[in-house]
Amino acid sequence: MAFSTLLIVRFLLASLGCMAAGLAVWALTAACRRHLPQVAVQRSTWLLGQLTIIATFLALLLPHSERLRLLPAIELPETMLAAPAAPDHATTPAQGAAMAGGRGAAADYRAWLSYGAQAWLSLYLLGLAYTTGRVLQSHRTLNGLAATGERLVLPGRHQGLDAATPPPSLAVIEVDAPISPMLFGWFRPRLLLPRHLRSFEPLQQQMIVEHELTHLRRHDLQWMSAGIVLQTLLWFNPFMRLLRDNLAWAQELGCDRDVLRNRTPALRKAYAAALVGQLRLQPHPVTHSAKTALAFGGVSARTLAARISLIREPAAAPRGPWARGTAVAGLAGVFAASLAFQPALADRAPAQAAAPATFSCTDMVDAASGAQLVRDGHCDERVTPASTFNIAVSLMGYDSGILRDAHSPSLPFKPGYADWNPEWRATTDPTSWIRNSTVWYAQQVTASLGAQRFQQYVRGFGYGNLDVSGDPGKDNGLAMSWIASSLKISPAEQTAFLRKIVNRQLPLSAHAYDMTARLTALGALSNGWQIHGKTGTASPVLADGGDDRRHSYGWFVGWASKGGRTVVFSRLVLEDTQESAAGPRTRDAFLRDLPAQLDAL
């Protein structure tokens, strides 16, 4: 599956995730409305609910958000992983037929998933264009209505304005239309007053106008605009519309409360009567155009009774800050749970049926400040860590006590151990293990740790995609997850991991840091920078499970220190295979240019 398709599939999952988040947010806010009414009448409750949903949507779109998930990943078949050459790829005719059938089924699955995700993206864009058009059309309708009206510029032209002083920037326009008094205009606010408002009692007119001016003072137009934008972006999520409607409801109640503060019961009754009278005079209490305006009568029959009840009876004193804090904490919990329980994709890298194209990355970061010094190339491309993972294994081994010093334990080579390189067929200690990238020695360390502790270390390190499950169905994660298998990491993630090591931000013993730095020390450059680093070499694996003999991954990662400053770096290349190993070749080329690069930083 191409990288662009993976992004589209991630968009589909983010859409589903925000729907689930919307359900949880709506349940929480509905509970607030029932049990904490003083919190529910606050505008912030409903706008924060919308923000929680869209934050969930955006967070699920971000790369590497699956680090926070607790659910198993959705496996995408036919992956292309980076790995060293496997010793045996021979298959029988029956196995070949089975593999071909499996690849066909996987291809069908991938095709349907890809088509479904692309169809959803197309539908989303069409819906976004339609919804945006409806909002703009509503605004144009209100502008057209205002253009037909008469601007009230002189004092005494309207009884509703006798007790109010509108700001000079507000245009008050009287229109001959069966609408509710309303405030609209995101950037140039205007107050529309229907001509039939003159039939109300003068005091009722004044309270209605004061209601609309209170919207202006409370910046409700800006709150409304934010709600409309968020609802438009996630037009497909019904909970965004419900939250937006309740935001409007809370805005109206807030203005009612401010207008009626310290008013007598008789005036409250007159105000409620004015609301009912206004609804009788307008044919459609809630029109689409009213969605982009703050209308005095902009309520539905479902909310009318509740609003009148709150108008007639003064609201109870708001509960303490703990009530709002509880609501905010609940919304934060919904956001965190949405990330933790997302059905994330198993990030098993680019899937092309043919050999991958070559690429490279150089990533350099200041260890102290985290400032990005160099980022050049495909630095978010995840591939196998290969032998660079030995840095992590070294930290685990020394922290757990399995490794003791630079030469202990010294373990003999045994038949059956990985022996792809001649140097591995000898007694090995920590120093020669790091120098020769001896796979079987690292496997002895991880076997001594055990699967549970190994997993805990990888998660604690925040290493790559955190997936140490190994090959599907083989239960070999403890021995092979970082080689031709599930664990992958990008150059940008390598530098982030190395920065934690240099700053000693991981929960490890000082001995683990000291010994790992000692084993990875490579000496000094000509300009005095001390270098620590580790190479890694691997062959990509094609979609059919075979090794790509024509290309090789070459890693070199580490850090350089001089005069109290440390720079962490990661270099990755995918290039045509040559006689020499890609990792050492990458290291040598990088170190040739490194002095000049460091002097220029």
Candidates 15, 289, 387, 394; catalytic one = 387
Q: In whole angstroms, what is the distance from residue 376 CA to residue 105 CA?
A: 38
What's the pLDDT band for 236 if we cut at 50, 70, 90? very high
Query: Could you give the maximum distance between any two Cα atoms of the chain, in Å?
Result: 103
- The helix/strand/coil state of 107 is helix
Task: Name the percent of the chain lying above pLDDT 70.
Answer: 78
Per-residue tokens: 28? 């929480």
Tell me whether strands 190-194 and 150-151 are parallel, antiparallel or unpaired: unpaired
Average pLDDT over residues 176-188: 82
Q: In whole angstroms, what is the distance from residue 397 CA to residue 516 CA?
A: 10
The helix (run of H) or strand (run of E) holding residue 20 is helix 3-35
Residue type, 168: P
Determine the Cα angle at 135 with ends 133 and 138, to 5°: 105
pLDDT of residue 509: 97
Per-residue tokens: 559? 């850090």
Average pLDDT over residues 264-276: 82
pLDDT in tens, 92-150: 334 344 434 444 454 555 677 778 888 988 999 999 999 999 888 888 888 888 888 88
List, as one string, the DSSP characters of 146-160: HHTSEE--STTS-GG
pLDDT of residue 65: 55
Mean pLDDT, the chain, whole residue set: 81
| Spatial contact of 90 and 547, defined as CB atoms under 8 Å apart | no
Residue 516 scores a pLDDT above 90: yes
Q: Give the alpha-carbon dihedral of 35, 36, 38, 41, to 10 degrees.
A: -80
Per-residue tokens: 250? 């809370």
Domains and CATH numbers, the chain: 359-600 (3.40.710.10)
Catalytic residue list contains 369: no
pLDDT in tens, 538-596: 888 776 666 777 888 999 999 999 999 999 999 999 988 777 889 999 999 999 999 99
Q: In whole angstroms, what is the distance from residue 511 CA to residue 522 CA?
A: 19
**What 3 state SS string does 353-401 have?**
CCCCCCEEEEEEEECCCCCEEEEEECCCCCECCHHHHHHHHHHHHHHHC
Residue 277 scores a pLDDT above 90: no
